[in-house]
């Protein structure tokens, strides 16, 4: 069933009987299924990193050195989660962590040369993952979908 069919069913269900509740018509359920599909596609192309690990590397590649807390904010992760992600990337030699010169409590994160090489190799795969995830949609549908999804985020 296409995304358009699901949306149509959702609208029809709301119009026909407000007392019925069908899980498959709920936004959270549909988003979770779409997310599961995307993660499966991601894993088939990039099996040695998790999506959060990739996000951390990609953002560091984009902006350069930043604090661990700022990185978490930029990639939508809480402090505990980003710490675990950074610890795992550090153990693999992909990032380095240092203390801020003035505020010693502040941890700075940066790519290592190996991390930079890895993300440069992975970015084309990430583009392919996006294309495969969005493949069921036309270019116009993709633009609309991303615009609407951004409004929910």
Predicted local distance difference test score (pLDDT) of residue 101: 75
Determine the 3-state secondary structure of 67 from DSSP: strand
Average pLDDT, integer, range 115-122:
97
More confident residue, 111 or 16: 111
For residues 86-101, average pLDDT: 93
Name every residue whose Cβ is closer than 8 Å to that of residue 88 and which is 6 or more positions away in sequence: 53
pTM: 0.81
Mean pLDDT on 71-89: 95
Looking at the chain, the whole-number percentage of residues with pLDDT higher than 90 is 79
The enclosing H or E element of 112 equals: none
| 115-134 CB burial, b ≥16 within 10 A, e <16 | beebbeebeeebeebeeebe
Q: What is the pLDDT of residue 92?
A: 97
Reply yes or no on whether the pLDDT at 115 is more than 90. Answer: yes
Mean pLDDT, rounded, for 42-46: 96
| Residue 13 pLDDT exceeds 60 | no
Tokens of 116: 């930079």
Is the pLDDT at 25 greater than 90, yes or no? yes
């Amino acid at each position: 069933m296409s995304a358009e069919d699901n949306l149509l069913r959702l609208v029809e269900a709301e119009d026909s009987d407000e007392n019925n509740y069908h899980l498959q018509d709920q936004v959270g359920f549909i988003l979770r299924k779409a997310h599961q599909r995307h993660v499966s596609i991601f894993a088939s192309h990039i099996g040695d990193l998790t999506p959060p690990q990739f996000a951390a590397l990609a953002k560091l590649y984009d902006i350069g050195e930043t604090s661990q807390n700022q990185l978490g904010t930029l990639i939508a992760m809480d402090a505990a989660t980003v710490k675990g992600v950074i610890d795992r990337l550090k153990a693999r030699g992909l990032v380095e962590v240092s203390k801020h010169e003035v505020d010693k409590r502040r941890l700075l994160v940066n790519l290592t040369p190996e991390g930079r090489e890895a993300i440069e190799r992975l970015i084309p795969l990430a583009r392919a993952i996006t294309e495969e995830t969005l493949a069921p949609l036309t270019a116009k549908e993709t633009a609309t979908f991303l615009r609407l999804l951004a409004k929910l985020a």
